[in-house]
Copies of this chain bind each other. A is one copy, B any other.
Amino acid sequence: MLLDIKLLDIEATDYPLVLMHKEDAKFIGVRRLDRVNVRVQTENFVAVVDLTEKIVSKGQIGVYDYICKKLDLSCTVQAEVTPAAPPESVLYIRKKLDGNTLAKDEIYSIIKDTVDNRLSDVELSAFISAIYTRGLTIEEVLNLINSMVNTGQILDIKKKPVFDKHCIGGVPGNRTTMVVVPILGAAGLTIPKTSSRAISSASGTTDTMEVLSEVSFHKDEIERIVNKIGCCIVWGGGVDLAIADDKLIKVRNPLKLDPQSLLLASILAKKKAVGSDKVVIDIPVSKNAKIKDNNLAKKLARDFIELGEKLEMEIKCIITYGGKPVGRGIGPGLEAIDVLNVLEGKGPYDLRQRSSEIAGLLFEMGGKAPRGMGREIAEQMIDKGKAISKFRQIIEEQGGDSKIKPEDIPIGSYNHTIKSEVEGRIDFMDTVMINRIARVCGAPDDKGAGLYFHVEKGEKVSKGQKLFTLYADKERKIDNALKVLDGSPIRVEKVIFDIVEGVSV
């Protein structure tokens, strides 16, 4: 069927979509979400059909502007539109829905079509639902990881082995990456670290690092930095490592479908794409974290290790307590201050401790420390000033001010301090609420916004003692945070519950 092209000023989907008039579609026998082949002169593309009775008239086809641009089509001519079969990968999605195991090339076909935008949201949603309900064998997860790696960019790092670390997330202020990377780099190990931004938390490693330097680099820039100084701390979203994973995450969000097989695949595909050989994975456990108990954490750890072996990646997991924030500051700027202080050999102790444990384990895996001695060597890298020097070198290479001091980092000009109303002991810190309050204060977009804790979990406090301070760029945001604070993120266990006095007769 020959149709006149009408350009549409919109780019609402990743996959090519064309709009047809209902009667034209009926005539050539295609229904909503079916595919058509669109031929314009010598160019050719397959698109998913949406139907209309208004936007395009009979005899017209609505083609999104960006398709024309991308394919360099002249959209003033006519298009020959014929029904097209869906890609073969749709059959494999159905096969998984039917409960069958997918072969290597079938998984590759789905992932390749995902990357090339040949699958619609409806089809991708069915794929995620199929994985969620039917599960994946370890072999399927492995094939999924390799398909994700091979359809995305791959870092070319000269000096092997490549070290890496990853945290399952969910703990406010857990910026161990920014301490571990310079420790390893200072010892001459290679660690091309990519991190993410905050999705629902107060700050991601990328958001915090951004206080000190640029974070968004192309593949060749990252390679240049790492091949020069051995390490980096950059944004993974700036480079298309395992790009299929990012596309699948978009359709997982609406139903919050996080099947464990996809969690594993997502993390390990990114590690494989940077060429990691030796990886430590931090699995924080608490009722408020992603992993709720120790047994689940151990099971997850075993899966990581098994997959790692098949991927020729040595993996060790460290199961940590996830029921309290790490460090004193929560929010990009306040966390950056903590990181600089730790690297300068000062507190907060918990951030230093966690980071040294992880770095130490990597030293042991790399044969740079005898078993059990890694943490000590890691702490020496801090105490001898080598880690902070390396960190300043990273900041410099990534375009930041390498001479920056903790007190140079701007924090919100409005603040409000909360004090304890009773005498007692801090026995509960609500990590979900802490993230929420920091976000209401403006984090992570307002770099100086967030919370600063004056006390730690378990610490004894007296009545009137400072618990934490809120920081924000605008007074209104402090006010909003105080409204949310109706339930405090800190619970103080009272020493004296009540005083009962006798009634004088």
Contact = CB atoms under 8 A, between A and B. Distances in A.
B257 A122 contact: no
A50 to B, nearest CB: 5
A266 to B, nearest CB: 16
A323 to B, nearest CB: 24
Contacts of A121: 33, 120-122, 125
A120 to B, nearest CB: 6
A372 interface: no
Interface stretch (A92-100, A184-192, A215-223): A92-100
Interface string A249-265: 01101111100000000
Interface string A173-203: 0000000000000000000000000011000
- Range, interface on chain A: 35 or more
A414 interface: no
Interface in A306-354: none
A132 interface: yes
A434 interface: no
Nearest to A8: B10
A148 to B, nearest CB: 20
A123 interface: yes
A12 B12 contact: yes
Interface stretch (A23-31, A415-423, A456-464): A23-31
Given A121-B122, A254-B34, A132 B97 contact: yes
Interface of A is mostly: mixed
Contact of A97 (B120, B124, B257): B257
Contacts of A439: 29
A449 interface: no
A32 interface: yes
A244 B475 CA distance: 49
A90 interface: yes
Contacts of A11: 52, 54-55
A122 B62 CA distance: 23
A51 to B, nearest CB: 9
A146 B32 CA distance: 27
A10 to B, nearest CB: 6
Given A9-B55, A200-B29, A445-B26, A255 B93 contact: yes
A133 B27 contact: no
Contacts of A445: 26-27
A239 to B, nearest CB: 18
A380 interface: no
A359 B17 CA distance: 47
Nearest to A251: B122
B123 A90 contact: no
A13 B11 CA distance: 14
Interface centre among A32, A93, A250 (most CB of B within 10 A): A32
B29 A257 contact: no
A34 B97 contact: no
A86 interface: yes
Given A10-B55, A33-B121, 6 more contacts: A12-B17, A31-B250, A86-B254, A120-B254, A122-B122, A123-B125
24 contacts: A9-B9, A11-B54, A12-B17, A12-B19, A12-B52, A13-B50, A26-B445, A29-B200, A32-B250, A32-B253, A33-B121, A33-B251, A90-B255, A97-B129, A97-B133, A97-B257, A120-B254, A122-B122, A123-B255, A125-B125, A126-B126, A129-B130, A129-B133, A130-B133
